[in-house]
Amino acid sequence: MTIVKDLAKMIDHSILQPSHTDEDLLKQCEVALKYDVASVCVKPYAVRTAVEKLRGSSVKVGCVIGFPHGNSSTVVKVFEAEQACRDGATEIDMVINIGKALGGDWDYVENEIKSVADMCHRNNAIVKVIFETDFVTKTEDKIRLCEICTRVGADFVKTSTGYGFVKQPNGDYNYKGATLSDVELMRKYSGPSVQVKCAGGVRTLDDLLKMKAAGATRSGATATETILTEAIKRFGI
C-alpha cells in the first residue's frame, strides 16, 4: 500500500453537519469513493442511503450515536446503535455521558459503554468511544475512560466530536478537538487491542501525519480532499 492509500485508509470522512441535505450526503459519499477512504461517518437517518451509495466499494459506513452531546439514556443509545447496524452500519461512534464522567459516576459510564459495545459486537460492528476531550479535560478522567474502554472491549477510543464548543475568554464559542497530547495519552493508557481515533480540527496533511505519529490509526475529517490532494502532491499516487 502506498503512503497516500495508507493515509486515505486512516480517514473517516465526516458527513455530520446539521445543514447537510440528502444531496450533500451523496456528494460527500462521492468524495469518499474518489479517495477510497476507510469510511464515511453519517447521521443515523442517513445510514441506509450511504450503504446503498457505497455498495460494492471498500468504504465502510459508520454512524454516530448519542451525538454530539451524549445525553441520551443508555437504552436509547443501545437502540439507536442497533438500528444503525440493522440499516447497514458496520462502525459505531458513540458519545459517552459526559456529565456522568465529570461527576465521577464511573459505574454508569462503564455500563453504558459496555452495553453499546456488546450490542455492536453481536451485530459484527466495531465501536469507537468518544470522550469529548473539550469537556473531559482532567488527565485522570481520560485515563479512567481508557481503562474502562479496554476492560469492556471497545475497539477504539476517540478524542472528540468536533462539536464540543466551549465558551472562550472573549465570549466566543469554539473547540480544540484532537490534540497530540490527548492522542499520546490515549495510546499510552489503552490496551493493545484498542485503537485510537482523533477527530476535530484535523484539517491538513501535516495535522494527519502528526496524529499518526502520535498513535492514531483513524481520523475524522471533513477536509478529506484538501488533505489527500496535498498527500498526492507530496508523495505521489
> Is 167 a catalytic site residue?
no
> Is 197 a catalytic site residue?
yes
Provide the Cα torsion 75, 78, 84, 87; round to 10°. -80
- Cis omega (within 30 of 0) for bond into 18: no
- Among 12, 53, 77, 93, the one annotated catalytic: 93
- Among 60, 141, 197, 207, the one annotated catalytic: 197
Closest CA to 14 of 143, 199, 206, 166: 199
As a whole number of angstroms, the distance between CA 154 and CA 68 comes to 19
What residues contact 34, with CB distance under 8 A and at least 6 apart? none
Tell me the three cell numbers of residue 41.
Answer: 461517518
What's the Rg (C-alpha) of the chain?
Answer: 17
**Overall residue count recorded for the chain in this entry:** 237
> Is 128 a catalytic site residue?
no
Closest CA to 227 of 7, 24, 1: 7
- Among 142, 155, 158, 207, the one annotated catalytic: 158
The helix (H) or strand (E) run that includes residue 6 is helix 3-8
Residues belonging to the active site: 93, 158, 197
